[in-house]
């Protein structure tokens, strides 16, 4: 069991290997190509595989296709809104369009298709992590401007604290003598 948000490929392969699952045709679950994909995921993330990322979910789908769903990449989150569905025209296809669609996707024997190579994508999606492309130049400028505006405020607070400490005598001098009834 992994009690961390990421793990090395060796640990994950050991865990999956201990599951002793085989496909219905007797083939081992983790092929050499699937193992290489796990190592390529780790190479993208400094040698560790993030367990909550899309790439690991995709790897799990190819290792256990009946148990783990394929993690599709959502191109635009706005496409899920009801407004986007209403703004488009009709979603009814004609008989000719359906016939053309079926002809384009003629049945191909499964043995001739390497499903891992065909369906694998290197699009990583990490939860609660802003994609690098979303960091715009304007955003960086705005963050820098806010930080520059905060700098004088911090310096003013530090100067006020320093002045208060000087007045009390705790900085650059001796603390004020306390009056005591025991002194002459």
pTM of the model: 0.52
CA distance linking residue 157 with residue 135, whole number of Å: 31
Closest CA to 6 of 126, 130, 132: 126
pLDDT at 102: 78
DSSP state of 37: H
What is the pLDDT averaged over residues 71-88?
Answer: 62
Q: Would you say residue 99 has pLDDT above 80?
A: yes
Share of the chain above pLDDT 90, in %: 27
Round the average pLDDT of the chain to a whole number and report it. Answer: 78
**The pLDDT value given to residue 146:** 92
Residue 87: helix, strand or coil by DSSP? helix
Q: How confident is the model at residue 159 (pLDDT cuts 50, 70, 90)?
A: very high
pLDDT at 153 exceeding the cut of 70: yes
Task: Please calculate the CA angle 7-70-21 and round it to the nearest 5 degrees.
Answer: 65
């Amino acid at each position: 069991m992994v009690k961390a948000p990421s793990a090395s490929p060796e640990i994950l392969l050991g865990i999956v290997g201990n599951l002793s699952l085989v496909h219905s045709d007797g083939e081992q679950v983790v092929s050499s190509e699937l193992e290489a994909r796990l190592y390529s995921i780790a190479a993208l993330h400094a040698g560790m595989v993030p367990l909550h990322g899309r790439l690991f979910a995709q790897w799990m789908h190819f290792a256990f296709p009946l148990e783990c769903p394929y993690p599709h990449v959502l191109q635009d989150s706005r496409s899920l809104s009801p407004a986007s569905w209403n703004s488009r025209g009709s979603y009814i296809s004609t008989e000719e369009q359906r016939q053309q669609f079926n002809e384009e996707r003629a049945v191909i024997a499964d043995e001739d298709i390497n499903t891992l190579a065909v369906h694998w994508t290197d699009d990583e999606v990490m939860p609660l992590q802003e994609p690098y492309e979303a960091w715009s130049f304007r955003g960086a400028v705005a963050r820098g401007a806010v930080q520059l505006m905060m700098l004088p405020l911090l310096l003013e607070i530090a100067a006020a604290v320093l002045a208060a400490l000087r007045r009390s005598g705790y900085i650059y001098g001796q603390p004020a003598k306390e009056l005591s009834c025991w002194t002459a």
